[in-house]
Amino acid sequence: MHSKLEILVGDAIKAEEWPKFDLCVANLPYQISSPFILRLIKAGRGYRCAVVMVQKEFAARLLAQPGDKLYCRLSANVQFHCKVAHLLKVSRNSFRPPPRVDSAVVRLEPRHPKPPVSIREWDGLLRLAFLRKNKKLSANFQGQAVAKLLYHNCQTVLKANSSFLTTPLVSCTATDDVFAMESRIAEILRASGFDGKRARTMDEDDFLRLLLAFKREGIYFG
């Protein structure tokens, strides 16, 4: 057994890279549940599944569907990349001393084939869409802060690809500025029919169509 067991001590959230693994089994403290699950998604699809115990409400967020009260960025992110299943409830009375809340055990299995979307792009879009999930997207995407972020992303992609592109990217032109970007964002939302939508009611197909609408205009989220 000693020759097959390697114990690594460290902070799973702060570690730059995770070692290769086949299964993940964890009893997650509430304060790291969300960053751990998101880090698990970014770890890739080289593992079979993860079985984790989390607080009951957190499990409900993982499983929430569009329109549900608890549906959020976490729900959309995890379900896009993984199949999520509720395995069992764990009463607070199962522990000594008992915590204040009940727990649940859930199983996450990476989707195969993996979604044809960059994790950074997908999460970047969700961050803005769920900024205020009950507000219309036209409200969440307006303002100079969003325009500056997307303008910066636009310029970064152009610079990164300028050396080997044979045809120019459809993206920010030299005459674009933050105010012009605000107008472009509003027009894309209007033309795609998403300006009046709210993130809390949108499913993964909606978010994919929205992401594609922005990418067609050379606007990137990661």
Neighbours of 138 (CB within 10 A): 15
Whether pLDDT at 164 is above 80: no
Annotated binding site: 1, 11, 27
For residue range 103-159, list pLDDT tens digits in order: 999 999 999 888 888 899 999 999 999 999 999 999 999 988 998 888 888 777 767
Which residues are annotated binding-site positions for S-adenosyl-L-methionine?
1, 11, 27
Q: Mind listing the domains of the chain with CATH numbers?
A: 23-110 (3.40.50.150), 119-217 (1.10.8.480)
pTM of this prediction? 0.85
Please report which helix (H) or strand (E) contains residue 178, including its range.
Answer: helix 178-192
- Please name which of 167, 164, 183 lies closest in space to residue 175, comparing C-alpha atoms: 183
CA distances from 69 to 8, 57, 106, 149, 198 (A): 39, 11, 20, 29, 13
